[in-house]
Amino acid sequence: MVVPASIPPWAYIRCFQLYLEHIQRRYSDEQPVVVYEVTGLRVVQANQAALACGVEVAMPLSDAWLLCDNLQTEQYDEATERQLLADIALALYADFAEVAQDPEHCGLWLRLQGLQRLYQDPGQVKHRIQTHLTGAGYQLTFASNPRCAQLGLDDLQQPMADASQHCLVINTPLDEAVKVRLLHMGVDTLDKLLKVPTTALGKKFGAPVVRLVAELRGQQRLPLQWLQPADNFNHRVELAAEARSWAALRFSCKRLLQMLQRYLQTRQLALTRFLIVLTCRQGLHQQIPIQLAYPQTQADDFFALLQVAMEATKLRAPVMYVQLEAQHFEQLQATSYGFEPVTGEQTALPALLNRLQMKLGDARVYGYRRKPGWMPESQQEQAPAASAPGTTGNLQAADDWRPPWLVTPEVVDINEWQLHGQPQRLQSPWWQPRSEQRDYMLARDHHRRWGWLYFLAAEQRWYLHGWAS
């Protein structure tokens, strides 16, 4: 009779290059890709193709470029990597109730002690983890305590003295200065550290080293922050390529809605509104609020409503990220809902503007706001009505007069105008596609209206660019 192996008390998952794997889908496997940190311009993650070219982690980016002619580089985004780790933690939470994050080392602890009924042997645990980490490169260690597990030290399969021979002091969480001092004494592996009497270690290095040794021996418990899923749902996905239409957004939205459904189901919650935020590469946001008549939990229902809203929405710019935000939940109840009365909040100005925008379209509800720049047309910016100031009266300073209403420049017959004052010469930014020099003047037409005209030397023509009255 084969006795099934009991499951170990602790597991630790170390993800090697979560961020790289996240962005890798934009590239083929043959394409060398590295992730670099922007302050030191050093490689922090590299794919197989880059490693094959001789690129190494921690190498200066300039060297990596020399080694790989067609190298693609991406800036490391710690926040995204942490979010990815949090996503994995959340997914694992459904299967392993006790999950703790170790974002500094891009790892996760799983306490397995109470799960003997669910998982009979380590193989089942591995299999379960694998379903959540498909495609991710990771190292899984089982150990008797969280510190050993974190350091990759499997003390269950072999004696501690043997297991710790290959575990380097440099990988421990001790202060760098302490690690250097230990290395300078030839104490470079954990087995050598564990051989030194604890009293001597305490005397020479103080509490942190003693604590580490106690943690490794299971005499002291590592304080862990157990995962407590957030009260709100806020997830963002980065698209593989910029989406220019709703069709290209469907898959990602479905994925987000499925995550939302899982989130709601595990908490027995429902919701009546959520927000989709579309972000383009330049950082511009477009928000699509979805309002439901009564609480829902199903991704398909959410998707049906989203589809209706999206088909009535025009994308302002190619979309790079899709984000789903849901904050206000209700406990799932077997209650039927009637129509809610309209609240005062919904009648507020933003709501009115939104309604107008839905009715008339974005382009027809707008205001103006001032922005830095020296050409008149670049100093005024058409902005969504809600974000523009109420008036245009402050658009110019005394020394930098601009007419309140600019028009699309149109050619005029200068003989019909009477010029006044001195010309003002403006040269459009040379780094913009069409650079030109304009001489602006105030002028009055037959109807005694003040216009703002400019002479374009390149064309030898006069244009009307604005009205002063």
Partner 1 sequence: MTAYAELHCLTHYSFLQAASSPAEMVQRAAELGYQAISVTDECSFAGVVKAWQAAKAHKIQLLVGCFFNDPTGRYVCLVKNLAGYQQLSALISHCRQQAEKGSYVFKPQWLLSKPLSDCELLWLPAANTQTVYAQIADIRRLYGSRFAILAVRDRLASDQACARAVSSLAAQLDAPIAASNAALLHSPERLPLLHTLNAIAANTTVAAMESEHWVNAERHLRPCDQLTQLFPLKWLQQSALIARQCSFDLGCLRYQYPGEVVPAGCTPSNYLAEQAQAGAERRYPAGVPQKVQSQLDSELALVEQLKYEHFFLTIYDLVQFAESQHILFQGRGSAANSVLCYCLGITAVDPDQSELLFERFISKERDEPPDIDVDFEHQRREEVIQYIYRKYGRHRAALTATVITYRLRSAIKDVGKALGFPLAQLSQLLTRLDRRDSEDDWQQQLDALGVLQHPMGGHLLQLVEQIRGFPRHLSQHVGGFVIAAERLSDLVPVENAAMPERTVIQWDKNDIEALKLLKVDVLGLGMLSALRRGFQWVEHCYGRTLTIGSIPQEDPSVYAMLQRADAVGIFQVESRAQMNMLPRLKPKTFYDLVVQIAIVRPGPIQGDMVHPYLRRRDGLEPEDYPNPAVEAVLKRTLGVPIFQEQVIKLAMVAAGFSGGEADQLRRAMGTWKSTGQMIEFKRKIVSGMLARGYDESFALRLFEQICGFGEYGFPESHSASFANLAYASAWLKYYYPAAFYVGLLNSLPMGFYSAAQLIQDARQHQVTVLPVCINNSLWEHQLTKEDESWALRLGFCVVKGLSKAASVEITAARPGVGFAKLTEIESLAIPSSDLQALASADAFRGIAGHRYQARWDMTHLGEQLPLLTEAEAGQAEYQLTEPSAVDTMVQDYAATGLTLGTHPLALLNQQGVLPTHKRAQELIHLRSGQVVTVIGLVVGRQRPSTSTGVTFITLEDETGNVNVVLWQKLGRQQRQHWLHAKLLQVTGTVEIEESVVHVVAGRLRDISDRLPTQAIRSRDFH
Q: How far is the CB of 280 from partner 1 (least distance, A)?
A: 17
> Which residues of this chain interact with partner 1, rule CB under 8 A?
36, 38, 41, 53-54, 59, 61-63, 65-67, 73, 75, 181, 184-187, 196-197, 199-200, 203-206, 372-374, 378, 398-401, 421-427, 429-431, 437, 439
Determine the angle formed by the axes of helices 78-93 and 122-132, rounding to 10 degrees: 130
Report the number of secondary-structure helices (H) and strands (E) in the chain: 15, 19
Q: Given the complex with partner 1, which of 65 and 337 has the nearer CB atom?
A: 65
**How many Cβ atoms from other residues are within 10 Å of residue 342's Cβ?**
9
Q: Tokens at residue 394, please?
A: 């402050």
Q: Given the complex with partner 1, which of 63 and 98 has the nearer CB atom?
A: 63
Q: Given the complex with partner 1, which of 79 and 177 has the nearer CB atom?
A: 177
Q: Tokens at residue 221, please?
A: 């418990």
Q: Which residues of 201-218 are buried (b: 16+ CB within 10 A; e: fewer)?
A: beeebeeebbbbbbbbbb
Cite the beta strand spans of 211-268 per DSSP E. Answer: 233-243
Q: How far is the CB of 196 from partner 1 (least distance, A)?
A: 6
State the distance between the two ends of the chain, measured CA to CA, in whole angstroms: 98
Bridge partners of 278, per DSSP, are: 286, 322
Q: CA angle 315-305-280, nearest 5°?
A: 25
Q: How far is the CB of 429 from partner 1 (least distance, A)?
A: 7
Q: How far is the CB of 246 from partner 1 (least distance, A)?
A: 29
Q: Tokens at residue 130, please?
A: 């694998």
Q: Given the complex with partner 1, which of 111 and 465 has the nearer CB atom?
A: 465
Strands 437-444 and 418-427: antiparallel
Q: Given the complex with partner 1, which of 61 and 115 has the nearer CB atom?
A: 61
Q: Given the complex with partner 1, which of 192 and 250 has the nearer CB atom?
A: 192
Strands 99-102 and 366-370: unpaired
Smallest CA-to-CA distance from 288 within 255, 330, 328, 319 is with: 319
Smallest CA-to-CA distance from 292 within 329, 264, 266 is with: 329
**How many Cβ atoms from other residues are within 10 Å of residue 447's Cβ?**
6
- Give the separation between CA 155 and CA 141, rounded to whole angstroms: 10
What does each C-alpha distance from 64 to 46, 54, 97 come to in angstroms?
10, 8, 42
Q: How far is the CB of 452 from partner 1 (least distance, A)?
A: 11
Q: How far is the CB of 52 from partner 1 (least distance, A)?
A: 10
Q: How far is the CB of 140 from partner 1 (least distance, A)?
A: 27
Q: Given the complex with partner 1, which of 294 and 401 has the nearer CB atom?
A: 401
Q: Tokens at residue 187, please?
A: 């104490």
Q: Given the complex with partner 1, which of 157 and 435 has the nearer CB atom?
A: 435
Q: In terms of C-beta density within 10 A (0-12 exposed, 13-18 middle, 19 or more buried), how is residue 5 classed?
A: exposed
Q: Given the complex with partner 1, which of 66 and 305 has the nearer CB atom?
A: 66
Q: Given the complex with partner 1, which of 339 and 430 has the nearer CB atom?
A: 430
Q: How far is the CB of 424 from partner 1 (least distance, A)?
A: 5
Q: How far is the CB of 82 from partner 1 (least distance, A)?
A: 22
- Give the separation between CA 294 and CA 276, rounded to whole angstroms: 18
Our measurement of the distance from residue 65's CA atom to the centroid of its chain's CA atoms, rounded to an integer in Å, reads: 27
Q: Which residues of 222-252 are buried (b: 16+ CB within 10 A; e: fewer)?
A: beeeebeeeeebebbbebeeebeebebbeeb
Q: Tokens at residue 463, please?
A: 């244009």
Q: How far is the CB of 451 from partner 1 (least distance, A)?
A: 16
Q: How far is the CB of 144 from partner 1 (least distance, A)?
A: 27
Q: Given the complex with partner 1, which of 60 and 123 has the nearer CB atom?
A: 60
